[in-house]
Structure 1
């Protein structure tokens, strides 16, 4: 679909992305989810991008192996180059091939390309499944990289122990090879005995720090990372160890020109409604990581995406004050905003303020809409909406005691002073970033139009700047007065 900075194939969805950067171009292999019934077998497709904004679909890359093949479903893997040959290692699964536990067996497979990743030759003789001590139904997402110090190749594998509490058997298993053909099992790469599984693992070195990234297949269902000064650990837990919230999953990274980008997907919701259950697969979305001195990471959309919004639609003049000592006050900028827009606001939060933030697709009176809410007392940003689900007309039949949209919460320090809020909305996609460090992605289905506003609750906030831009020329410009001051009655 034609979205700048995002990608979804026509009549299908993007599953796990396998990124590969070569000669300045990102080759993004991904699991092509058609959601057809009966299931046709999962293939890899590929898109390429040079600018992280425009994505060109090149079509199927690695097809399903066929109804009877071990790789009827071609699941997640990785790409490496050796002696001018591209190698992919990937997961194969066939629901008709079951292990001792009665579940479909997962295996690691190998294919090579000598024509620049245009075609692939499979090598079924290199296939192998779970080694002793691991469940046969969880042996997937092989990530292969070169360990120059040890002089060998390492493969990280999503696996589960055969023993232990059911929800804490997850482990990143490890195999090593000298020729990319035969693999020998060695000790686990990481074994915290905490999660169901560590999906889509990867490891990389960046400016003297090592990073272990995986997607938590447990109660949180989010992408996490750990930091170390050594490939072999120990791995420390950053204060905020997630890339995004519940809606952004299976992110893996690639680097270019000293920058590192993560490619994941924003999950769709069943039925295309705000109350629908999160679904597997969605729309490709890119986040850029930046390093802090302690090795922890900040995340935000790449600047290339922000640069596509260059037409001012509305603005709010510097110095606008919202005050509500013991109540609530909002300001909705008149006029509806196009379906694709970007908000860039800096809000100076007064000491003791309970909440403030931005309204999206709001009604003219601000009573309905989506809410990106900063909560200084709780040091978090949350996504919310009103009205919430209703089962009837009475007060107790409205979901009013839910503090925010479930699973859409990110921790971050919010001391008094200025904080920058950036929000990109493109149709039903929404990616919000606070202070260029903490990102929260979601979907906006039910409300398709409305205005932008700001609000405060139990405190005071000064809007130092607020600008709404689109990528569409010819939109009007509207700026409220410099001396707008809103005080609760």
Structure 2
């Protein structure tokens, strides 16, 4: 069993996750990224599928590699994202993207749809290279990936969705969710695209599911920003409308797909690592597995929070409010006396793995307030989760943000917070709850069990917790550090 509630394999990283539920156990297949430093053409083995299983999204059993690379000469040298389904006879079908850097067109590497089957063991697969197929006419052969297979009801034809591009369109507007249909999961025929928004380069990792009267299309994009988004439809044909806030998380959480377990829908993706394991490092592809629990509003919009089983693990609560001390002559009562200034209150150091729960009763007109994480003794250097009621958003910030030189005025004051780490959330005056799941260098923030923001904390592995206010006030109703008992 994995000790962390966020799985990462020894010696590797988690890429795109492909969830599949069987008899109450969720198989979380994933692309195993070993970060092999050799050039692709120098490698003898490409990317495999590995897997972990879980029954609660809090504990995981590592199943190792389940679909290895087919070797240097195969179309599936690299085994990329796909899906798993069970047919009416109980046979399991695994669809995945095949890629080989040795097979190219003038415009890039070719991607194909590959197929494997299993008699029932989700860890044992037989390849069927005779069923492999590439892009149909009119589609770019370099982007023909992430096959997602489903059907709208038993007995209906199977549908296969693909992250694809039109061959004759400008690149940024060429991405669409292509669709094929089949009666036997082997022979596929072209059908009208499921969604053609003329907006993105590609809609990666498409996923469709029904929840009550609504249908959902989930996808990840890297055109406007690196994020997982969703759309809502009244039928499996769409039209696919955007909710007011259509993102699942921020920049760090990517390539999420979904699965239902025990009546609840969960989104599983990865929190990206950063180059050099530094806060200022560039985001990398792949990282550590992460899970969010979705809830549904009456109009179909989704909210996101921590899995219930993860929260239940942290059942040893410590009230931190009595341990908060003011900084710089702040008012003695945390949250008060900051009507025309910045004020902060620091508490104790908390373990690297902690669930912090804070409840703020925010006064009208407050510009900002929030939590300091892993702060120094004077509160100057810290990570900050800043609630901004005037903008109805939460942002992740850190100080120092960086400099362009050694002079005082060369502080990166032009960077208001960590790039792409902001999330819209309604912050009307009144009570708001912030959960912060710290898992060593991982941080997952949830506001009001509604909005999630994930990131990495590399540079400061430890430090004190605190609260702050800017030009306003709040009542600190609760501040707890919860540990595993």
TM-score (norm 2): 0.95
Which runs of 5 or more structure 1 residues have no equivalent in the other structure?
474-489
Indicate the residue corresponding to 2:387 in structure 1: 374
Aligned to 1:79: 84
Residue aligning to 1:479:
none
1:384: how far off? 0.2
Give the Å deviation of 1:37: 2.4
* 1:14 aligned partner: 14
Q: Which residue of 2 aligns with 1:271?
A: 276
Work out whether 1:247 is the aligned partner of 2:260. Answer: no
Deviation at 1:301? 1.2
- 8 Å Cα contact 1:349/1:418 also seen in 2: yes
Indicate conservation of the 8 Å contact 2:274/2:281, yes or no. yes
Partner Cα distance (2:198, 2:154) in 1: 28
Aligned residue number for residue 89 of structure 1? 95
Select the residue among 346, 360, 363 that pairs with 1:332.
346
Is 2:470 the counterpart of 1:468?
Answer: no
Query: 1:176-325 alignment to 2 at 5 Å?
Result: 176-316=181-321, 320-325=334-339
8 Å contact kept, 1:322–1:330: no
Residue 149 of structure 1: how far off its partner (Å): 7.4
Match of 2:328 in 1: none
* Post-superposition CA distance 1:343-373 (Å, at most 9, x none): 1011011111100001100112211100000
What is the CA–CA distance in structure 1 between the aligned matches of 2:336 and 2:451, rounded to whole Å? Answer: 24
Give the corresponding residue for 2:470: 457
Assess if the C-alpha contact under 8 Å between 1:323 and 1:461 holds in 2: no
Aligned-residue offset at 1:342: 1.1
The alpha carbon displacement at 1:11 in A equals 1.0
Distance 1:3 1:417 in 2: 37
Report SS of the residue matched to 1:243: coil
Residue in 2 that maps onto 1:121: 126
Q: How high is the TM-score relative to the length of structure 1?
A: 0.94
Q: Look up the SS of the partner of 1:374 in the other structure.
A: strand
State the distance in 2 between where 1:262 and 1:42 align: 23
Alpha carbons of structure 1 residues 149 and 54: separation in structure 2 relative to 1, 3 Å: closer
C-alpha displacement of 1:337: 1.2
Specify the SS of the correspondent of 1:36.
Answer: coil
Say which SS state the counterpart of residue 246 (structure 1) adopts. coil
The answer to whether the Cα contact below 8 Å between 1:4 and 1:305 also exists between their aligned partners in 2 is: no
Cα distance in 1 between the residues matched to 2:214 and 2:147 = 22
Alpha carbons 2:220, 2:228 under 8 Å: kept? yes
Verify the 8 A CA contact 2:335 2:467 in the aligned structure 1.
no
Number of equivalenced pairs: 470
Alignment of 1:41-190 (within 5 A): 41-82=46-87, 83-99=89-105, 101-148=106-153, 151-190=156-195
Alignment check: 8 A CA contact 2:152 2:236 kept = no
> After the TM superposition, which of the residue ranges 395-404 and 143-152 deviates more from structure 2?
143-152
Paired with 1:51 and 1:224, the residues of 2 have a C-alpha distance of: 24
Is the CA contact 1:146–1:154 (under 8 Å) kept in the aligned structure 2? yes
Equivalent residue number for residue 480 of structure 1: none
Alignment match, 2:25: 25
Shift in Å, 1:320: 4.3
**Matched position secondary structure for 1:305:** helix
CA contact 1:4–1:308 (8 Å) conserved in 2 = no
**Cα displacement (A) at 1:223:** 0.2
Distance 1:68 1:314 in 2: 60
Deviation at 1:22, TM superposition (A): 1.1
Tell me what 1:386 maps to: 399
Deviation at 1:324, TM superposition (A): 1.0
4+ aligned runs moved over 3 Å, structure 1: 317-321
Are the equivalent residues in 1 in contact too, given 2:319–2:478 (CA < 8 A)? no
Contact 1:322 1:455 in 2 (8 A): no
CA distance in 1, matches of 2:390, 2:120: 57
CA offset digits 1:66-116 (Å, max 9, x no partner): 0010000000000000111100010000000012x3311000011000142
Please list every run of 5 or more consecutive structure 2 residues that lacks an aligned counterpart in the other structure.
325-332
TM-superposed deviation, 1:150: 7.3
For residues 375-414 of structure 1, give each alpha carbon's deviation from its aligned partner in whole angstroms, at most 9, with x where no partner exists. Answer: 0111110000001113433122221221110010101111
Residue 476 of structure 1 corresponds to which residue in structure 2? none
- 2:37 corresponds to: 37
Secondary structure of the structure 1 residue equivalent to 2:50: strand
Cα distance in 1, alignment partners of residues 2 and 150 from structure 2: 34
Query: Does residue 412 of structure 1 match 2:389?
Result: no
In 1, Cα distance between equivalents of 2:317 and 2:2: 22
- For 2:101 and 2:305, locate their aligned partners in 1 and report how far apart those are by CA, in whole Å: 38
